[in-house]
Amino acid sequence: MAIINDFNYHKPKDMDETLLLLSKLKGKAKILAGGTDLIVHLKEEIVKTENVIDIKEITQLNKIEISEDNIFIGAGVTFTEIIESQKLKEKIPILWEASMTVASVGIRNRATVVGNICSAVPSLDSAPALLVYDAEIVVQSKTEKRVISIHDWFTGPKKTLLKSDELVLGINIPIFQHNGTYEKLGRYKGEDLAQAGIGILVNETKNYRFAYCAVGPVPKRMKKLEEFLKGKEITDDLIEEASELIPSEISPIADMRSSKEYRIHMMKIMFKRGLRKSIANMKGGRS
């Protein structure tokens, strides 16, 4: 099926050219990276635009940079590139695990993490990991560079703080010792969007972090749960007690993929399963 709406295609070679274009075309351009969301939206006329700016030629955006205490994932980095990085698997296992659950190989070969957070659908798999890592989004316009906390980034379903003349350069993720997991509920293995998802982070100092996707309008940290468990040794009784806080932390809807009640029920189970697994991994020495 062709795209009905005509547009101009731009493939800038560097950042300056891109930012100039964005400022000139203010509001009348869409950024194209992997295109796995944008092309569907253009075909189905959910999005209409006069200009498409393809950023894949900008080498600076296609980089993963790992320093002593920080990982930078550029806007052009695909889920496959994350999965193929042994270093990322070691340093940020929760995002690595979440990347493995995104759609299928053919989509992961194209789709980018930054595209995922820019599309900002409530079920996005990368968000729980980025939230428990306190990631930061680096954005730039022709005149200004901003660093936005992932906690402020999502302003509603499919809405973010990004302005029309800004480009996301990438995501900063701090490196620190931890264990954790991403639990995803889909109707079947492969391909499906999350019906519910929870990212779980634990560390030796008994600090616990939890974040969800798909069970609220925007992905979020679960602060009541974190406060309740803070400093405590995890036992079966404690996990059971904590899981009762889940319904007050989330606000799922009922849709074609599952009912509200099922989502709440499964979030409790995924929380218990994921926390037990993370604690076992930590005690077993996986870092």
CB of 97 to other proteins, least distance (A): 14
Considering beta carbons, is residue 109 or 287 the nearer one to other proteins?
Answer: 109
CB of 101 to other proteins, least distance (A): 11
Considering beta carbons, is residue 84 or 204 the nearer one to other proteins?
Answer: 84
CA-wise closest residue to 19 among 139, 112, 115, 140: 140
CA angle 95, 124, 108 (to 5 degrees): 65
CB of 49 to other proteins, least distance (A): 10
Residue 185, beta-bridge partner list: 196
In the β-sheet with 145-149, what is the strand arrangement from edge to edge?
64-66, 70-74, 167-174, 136-140, 145-149
CB of 56 to other proteins, least distance (A): 7
CB of 254 to other proteins, least distance (A): 23
CB of 17 to other proteins, least distance (A): 17
Considering beta carbons, is residue 51 or 243 the nearer one to other proteins?
Answer: 51
Which residues in this chain contact other proteins in the complex, by CB under 8 A? 1-9, 11, 32, 35-36, 39-40, 42-44, 52, 54, 56, 80, 103-107, 109-110, 189-191
Considering beta carbons, is residue 80 or 278 the nearer one to other proteins?
Answer: 80
Considering beta carbons, is residue 89 or 142 the nearer one to other proteins?
Answer: 89
Considering beta carbons, is residue 15 or 39 the nearer one to other proteins?
Answer: 39
